[in-house]
Structure 1
Amino acid sequence: MRKTFVLTVFAMMFGLLFGCSSGNNVTSESTPSNSNSNNNEEKTTLKIFQFKTEIVEQLKQLEQEYESEHPTIDLEIESITGTDYETKLKAKFAAGDMPDIFMNEGYADLDNWLEHVEDLSNEPWVEDIIDVAREPMERDGKTYGMPVTLEGIGFGYNKDLFESAGIKEVPTTISELEEAAQKLQDSGINAFINNYNSYFPLAMHAFNNPIAKHEDPTAFIKGLNEGTAKLATDELTKQWTDLIQLTIKYGNKDGIITDHNTARTMFINEEYAIMQTGNWNDPVIVEMNPDMNVGFMPMPINDDSTLNDTIFVGVPNNWAIYKDSPNKDKAKDFLNWLVTSETGKRYITEEFRFIPALKSIEASSELGPISKEIVRYIEEDKVLGWQWAKYPEGVLQLIGDSIQKFIAGKIDADQMLEEFDKAWQQSISKN
């Protein structure tokens, strides 16, 4: 039986890459705290380094409220676009400017930073973490991070355009998906809007599909690492190439140069019916087109409806604490406040509109349209996990390059998968 994630979260109803949003670096400047005239304790500055740029404004507001409640603390929150985050975090450590709190993706990323992160196993919120959110930041029975939220990956689709094309059921097989795309095309409706100009939506999100659908993804990845498994001969991976070709056939012709923001805007403007996406785009959808009737559906790679009637849910990032920080106790206090105080929980659910990763926090009824759909899939136990954080460092970019060559027609599907295997072993040898 293939692995699924069984969540007991409801009570619940959580964006860019990954969130994958783009933009300039944004630093939230600390505002003056309300000082207590009877409190002469020296102020402490807590440095927080994070890459969810879609919540920058909300974090500025949280900063003010936390400092108001804690007059001896100044928060210094720096927000970096996801594609630059790891490079700039390494630069900070190299320069001796380590943040007190920073984000870590878990799995291989935790391995890379394990010597720098504090063991948080004894913190009061640890036992409250939802099961699917535990594994990325666990090592040898210890917990090294607090999950920020849950996110899902699948195809966002326009329910009204589907109805106009006479599509009555959500496709759960690749044959049904092609039939739906043909109906859209016959009705004069553009089907897929593809943003294939970056490795993020390709190697990270799209390629997760066949890996996650293995009975034991971790064992399959271990086989790839040891050279006992091959992507070029793996049936699920070969079937996944049919899905990529289908999106090209029924998609925008300039997908190879279309960026995420452009594709998202065209989807929200209802120029296309289907887009690979996740709930990190909820805030933009709600802002730009609040009346848009958005659904969320699987990304099938073959005609096994049971296997394919699933979406991919995981933890995009976790809060970690620098273990040698002189302020690590105050950093722990901040994380505890975030998930236990009414103010902190309000920010998670109502301001950030995240799907909470802790059982004790009930999601807001004001979740965005994609988040609500993700919650439904979770409740129905139709979710598989995110696998890319388990891959060897550097392989995602190489896989992304090969997929782009395939999309551009420079190599065929078999050659692409052979390049995947070479890239995997090349990355293993460098690590």
Structure 2
Amino acid sequence: MNKKLSILSLLAILLVALISACGKNNGNGEASSQAASSAPASETPSPAQETEVVKKDVTIRIYQFKVEIAEALNKMAKDYEAETGVKVEVETHGGGEDYSALLKATLAAGEEPEIFNSSGWAGFEPYVDRATDLTNEPWAKDLVEASKAQITRDGKLLGMPMNLEAYGFTYNKDLFAKAGITELPQTLEDLEAAAKKLKDAGIIPFALTNEWWSMGIHTLNIALANQADPAAFIEEIKAGTKTFKDDPIMKQWIRLVDIMFANGQEKAITTDYNTQVAEFASGKYAMIQHGNWIQGMVDEVDPSLNLGMLPVPLLDKPNVFTGVPNNWIVNNKSAHPEEAKAFLNWMVTSETGKKYISTDFKFVPALNSIAPNPEAVGKIAGDFAVFAPANPSQVKSWNWDRFPDGITQQWGAAMQEYLGKQINGDQLLEKFDKAVADIVKR
């Protein structure tokens, strides 16, 4: 798929969803509030019309990574059981856990959940033989076009894209105002100056974390996405014809990381994801490198927090990054794949399921047939909805899943060493190159 067309089409659907959800903007990136019920009702047939009645006294198991929706997903499972008689057991592993390693261990032990999460591109390769073809499912026609490629093989749709997400630096607008920052940083020099203003005002600029996935995936993707052609660059890295250590963009990226690490909290090396987000939500820090997926966790602490999405400076212009975080895979080696397909169908076609997706999960849906809830989407996504249409060239892709599984985990471990000041910048980039070489050779 053409990279530019893919990103533009994904951007277009995100904007349609977010702008229609958020309505007019007040100039500060805060979405106007309109009732979720005012969105036009989907004309998608009811699940009773689309699927056969599932049999009773069946249990399907879901193995999933998204800790932000765990509580709501369990509630949805109870509602599904009440409606159909089919029991749904949800097992969640995320945050500080290595979901991919745990899933592989679970499958190797002979346990076969009916539904599990997988990323796309190369990250999906270990699970292709287990993935049920979902091409002809009734919801497939409603998928955002750009969400399909990463989970399609040989023309077959092998998973349901979970949702659409975007990230940059989520920032506290009130703390920026308190520090006298009137313009968002456009360069690394601007970002460093903003951090100094925040510190001079007694505000810690960055909420950092020790999580390997945050640093080894989202942080590093800032450099990958800023390449002229990320997909081609990654293929050259995998082939060994280019290296991270000799890439000029990686040198600039090290400067960005140094600014973040030098302006975070003292005990970042012991701060896990949940603590990082909770403390940011309490107003202790001005910026956090996460996206609209933290909105629900923030709202549990302080729903009135005045947040926005700050594009990340690196080269000529600052950027934000968007993509599909994961997919629902129906496991054809499980005991009840047909019941699993019926559950996913119910989730995205029934009014109950759609409400969970748009309101309780706070998702920007990956299906055109589900309208996002403006109040649930929140201020972070609202800012993205304002920035993106005005600056489409500054909306970049997610690229980490183009590397084989295991590489990002090693990158994350190297980032932890760098955060702990055990290695220098050159050694960090050398470890990135070694991780690729070691795993690609296998």
TM-score (norm 2): 0.84
Per the alignment, residue 397 of structure 1 pairs with 409
The alignment yields a C-alpha RMSD, in angstroms, of 2.3
1:371 aligns with 2:381: yes
Structure 1 contact 47–75 (Cα < 8 Å) conserved: yes
Q: Which residue, 8, 12, 20 being the options, matches 1:5?
A: 8
**Displacement of 1:330:** 2.4
The answer as to 2:273 corresponding to 1:269 is: no
Runs of at least 4 residues off by over 6 Å: none
Deviation at 1:11, TM superposition (A): 4.2
Aligned length: 399
Match of residue 210 from structure 1:
223
What is the rounded CA distance, in whole Å, between the counterparts of 1:74 and 1:258 in structure 2? 36
Instruction: Report the alpha carbon displacement of residue 207 of structure 1 after superposing the two structures with TM.
Output: 0.5
Aligned to 2:188: 174
Residue 378 of structure 1: how far off its partner (Å) = 4.6
Deviation at 1:173, TM superposition (A): 1.9
The one-letter amino acid paired with 2:12 is T
Question: Is the aligned partner of 1:118 residue 2:132?
Answer: yes
* Distance change in 2, residues 1:421/1:40 (3 Å): closer
Q: Which moved more, 1:398-407 or 1:106-115?
A: 398-407
Q: Are the aligned partners of 2:195 and 2:263 in contact in 1 as well (CA < 8 Å)?
A: yes
Structure 1 residues 364, 270: closer, same or farther in 2, change over 3 A?
A: same
Q: 1:415 aligns with which of 401, 408, 427?
A: 427
Amino acid at match of 1:355: V
Superposition pairs of residues 23-422 of structure 1, within 5 angstroms? 43-71=57-85, 73-81=86-94, 83-195=97-209, 197-302=210-315, 304-305=316-317, 308=318, 310-366=319-375, 367-380=377-390, 381=392, 382-422=394-434
Distance in 2, Cα, partners of 1:2 & 1:214: 12
The alpha carbon displacement at 1:40 in A equals 12
Change (3 A) 1:81 1:263: closer
One-letter amino acid of the counterpart of residue 346, structure 1: K
Deviation at 1:67, TM superposition (A): 2.2
For 2:413 and 2:208, how far apart are their aligned partners in 1?
A: 16
- Per-residue CA distance 1:274-325 (angstroms, 9 max, x = gap): 11122222112111112211111112123x02xx2x2111212111111234
Identity of aligned residues (%): 39
Identify unmatched segments of 5+ residues in structure 2: 22-52
SS at match of 2:441: helix
Partner residue, 1:425: 437
CA 1:80–1:147 in 2, change beyond 3 Å: closer, same or farther?
same
In structure 2, the CA distance between the partners of 1:99 and 1:177, relative to structure 1 (3 Å rule), is same
Paired residues of 2:57 and 2:87 also in contact (CA < 8 A): yes
Question: CA distance change for structure 1 residues 90 and 412 in 2, over 3 Å: closer, same or farther?
Answer: closer
Q: Residue deviations 1:149-208, cap 9 Å, x none?
A: 12222111110111112211222321221221122222232212222x231121111001
Moved more, 125-134 or 243-252: 125-134
Q: 2:48: which partner in 1?
A: none
Q: Is the 1:132–1:314 Cα contact (8 Å) retained in structure 2?
A: no
Question: Scaled by the length of structure 1, what TM-score is found?
Answer: 0.86
Quick one: structure 1 residues 2 and 260, their matched pair in 2 at CA, closer, same or farther if it must change by over 3 Å? same
Deviation digits for residues 221-254 of structure 1 (CA, Å, limit 9, x no counterpart): 1111111111111111111000011112322233
Judging by fraction of residues, say which structure has more helix: 2
